[in-house]
Amino acid sequence: FELKGAGGHARFRELAEAGGNTVRLWGVGDGTERTLDAAHAAGLKVVVGLWLGHERHGFDYGDAGAVREQFEKTKADVLRFKDHPAVLMWGVGNEMEGFGNGDNPDVWRAVNDVAEMIHEVDGKHPTMTVTAEIGGERIASINRWCPAINLHGINSYGGVHSIPQRYREAGGVKPYLVTEFGPPGVWEQADNDWGVPVEKTSTQKAEVYRSAYAALAADPLCLGSFAFLWGHKQEATATWFGMFLPDGTKLGAVDAMTRAWSGSPPANRAPVVEPMEVVGAAVVRPGAEVEVTLAASDPDGDPLRTEWVLLAEDEDRITGGDYRPTPPAFPKAIVASATDRARLTMPERGGNYRLYAYVRDGQGNGATANVPLRVDGDASAETRGAATALPLVVYGDDAQGSPYVPSGYMGSAQAISIDENDRTRPRSGATAMKVTFGAPGGWGGVTWQSPANDWGDQPGGFDLRGADALEFWARGARGGEKVKFGYGILGRDKTYHDTAKAEAEHTLTTEWTKYTFDLDGQDLSTIKTGFYWVLAGQGRPVTFFLDDIRYVVDAPSAPAPVITPPVVEAEAAEPE
């Protein structure tokens, strides 16, 4: 089986049309059966990931009880899906060894125990475990402790071209798959003069995908590879790893993989862009004007349109792939724009920002480029929240995401499970958030924080002055669930606290219901905890759903005027 794969949870029809034949999942959840069915309908095979706990997330491989519980869960998942026709193999864990030396034998024994179990209950599908690159003792540990693992999966970015040589030099003997590859990671990319990473354009990234695939395909020990990511995500920036835009627009990486997998380019190709250039200084005073230019063309001669977006810089860049919210956007900063240029007025607050250009050809294809900018001024007393645009989404399908992170677990945290992409019956859009508190007694809750995992010891939060209300929608799975909701949980006993707070308990019904906190007269200058829920155990597991959590204003802002220079049609070009 010549594996031609991508990592992702959707857009399977596009993957098959591009010549791909396999999709990789990282874990099993409520939607796995639907995902397998959809992949099978598209003619794709699936590497089903069995997520194993990460020590950096608090999982203790020295805790025999926790390891046994994890083993039983993975066994139940294997038994449930082993006969599905889409299953190709099992991925036992993903980077569970962490980012250190990768030599904890307890981790690898647990991996091998799962693999042995799979071979006992499922004789049809091989086993693989996936590591973060191949440094340290990863290969030696798998060779020693994991005889039941058939293949070594490797996530590699900046060093992917040299994997064939380095894998053998490190003692690798098992067949391997490169389970994630793409542009160099933010941890591998050079920073600019003020310490933020410079991102490649989508055109430059496409070349990385092409050359990496070619290097791996030439190695007989490599049984295939998975381009990352067949979708989009916020990680370091809004565009670093995604091969699509949130609206489904295909970027140059899709073109590169289409040619690699099928031998031919797509009928209509993505636009080509050069790195964005700043006219003048990229570091300016608060409220200063900045102008940028962008050279873009289309190989098919399609007319182009550019969307310009200014976001605050995500300063928490090295996250190991963990969920990251999209930073605040500043739509009012764009004062004039055209396909090849934009003029903007920078925010008054000092700090780092990034200007994105999203170029589209009207045929479902696009290109991206961005440039870091800096306001060299008062970051405004550390105890004051950062400026942000309104309305602000805490949770929802809005493409701009949320600056708050649901990271503050309270009470019986082990009894809490959250699925941020539940598709059962969303209030709007494609997904809602499913929350389950599994303990019959005790209490638990989750707070949306800024920064993540902070309880008032670090500066952060956002200046939400101008918001009229905090609105959210909720429903219960059974009806009758009693849940407290609120914002502003950090009191003035904390060094960095919320300047306003409110809480209310609601009894949920099975129908979506809108709830509102009136913010009139509240001091919203620093809101570090943008939303939270708390409930007490109610004798049995409690499940409820949340959607469209937003800080809203009465009147929408007006769009920026458009610069209209002479239109220059791009000349058609032959593919490389």
Q: What would the pLDDT profile of 4-60 be if each residue is shown by its tens digit?
A: 999 998 999 999 999 999 999 999 987 899 999 999 999 999 999 999 998 877 789
- What is the three-state SS of 389-403? CCCEEEECCCCCCCC
The confidence score (pLDDT) of residue 142 equals 98
Q: How far apart are CA 557 and CA 332, in angstroms?
A: 8
Place of tokens 């949130």: 246
pLDDT digits (tens, 9 = 90+) for 366-423: 999 999 999 997 654 445 677 788 889 999 876 455 689 999 999 888 889 999 888 8
User: Six-digit token pair at 457?
Assistant: 């010891």
Distance CA 148, CA 116 (A): 6
Residues 345, 355 contacting (CB under 8 angstroms): no
Do residues 535 and 546 lie in contact, with contact meaning Cβ atoms separated by under 8 Å?
A: no
* DSSP class of 565: P
* Mean pLDDT (the chain, rounded): 90
Structure tokens at 280: 């003048």
The amino acid at residue 489 is I
Q: Determine contact, residues 309/359, Cβ cutoff 8 Å.
A: no
Mean pLDDT in residue range 164-191 = 95
Q: What is the DSSP string of 513-539?
A: EEEEEE-TT---S-BSEEEEEEEE--S
Instruction: State pLDDT tens for residues 197-250.
Output: 999 999 999 999 999 999 999 999 999 999 999 999 888 899 999 999 999 999
pLDDT score, position 571: 30
Instruction: Report the distance separating Cα 569 and Cα 576, nearest Å.
Output: 20
